[in-house]
Amino acid sequence: MDKKAAIRREKDLRVPVFPYERERIEANAANVGKKVAAYLRELGMGYEVKGVLDHRRVEELARINGDLGRLGGLLKLWLTDDPRTAQFGEATIRAVLFKIEQTQAQMQDVMRQVVRPRVKK
């Protein structure tokens, strides 16, 4: 631990804000996984405040991506006239295509939750 980290900060800055501003600042700090003081200090020092990803959502995206890969592989197998897919009828192929669309929609929903849009100024 360096000396600056070991020393407690002694000076406070008072910044008057409206209630809605306080709520927004607190929400922005929470969105990047920081306490309000750390969030404001980093902004005030000119640092780029980087958010944290929800690791459970990232794992979920990896699982969904694997599902899409398997479904795509199945479709590719059918398109290459592989003998193993000779029994696949139109209904089966349409079901696979529908499942691919559902899985893509699921992936987009999770991505929207992971990647937060920037706050409009």
Return the pLDDT at 84. Answer: 83
The number of CA neighbours under 13 Å toward the Cβ of 50 is: 2
Give 78-90 pLDDT, tens digit per residue: 888 888 887 888 8
Q: Are 17 and 25 in contact (CB under 8 A)?
A: yes
Query: Residues of the chain with pLDDT > 90: what percent?
Result: 16
A 10 A CB-CB count for 107 gives 17
A 10 A CB-CB count for 85 gives 16
User: CA 12 to CA 56: how far, in whole Å?
Assistant: 36
Return the pLDDT at 20. Answer: 96
Per-residue confidence band for 54, with pLDDT thresholds at 50, 70 and 90: low
Give 15-41 pLDDT, tens digit per residue: 899 999 999 999 888 888 888 998 999
Return the pLDDT at 115. Answer: 66
1-36 burial, b at 16+ Cβ within 10 Å, e below that, comes to: eeeeeeeeeeeeeeeeeeeeeeeebeebbeeeebee
DSSP 52-92: ---HHHHHHHHHHHHHHHHHHHHHHHHHTT-GGGTT--HHH
Q: Are 64 and 110 in contact (CB under 8 A)?
A: yes
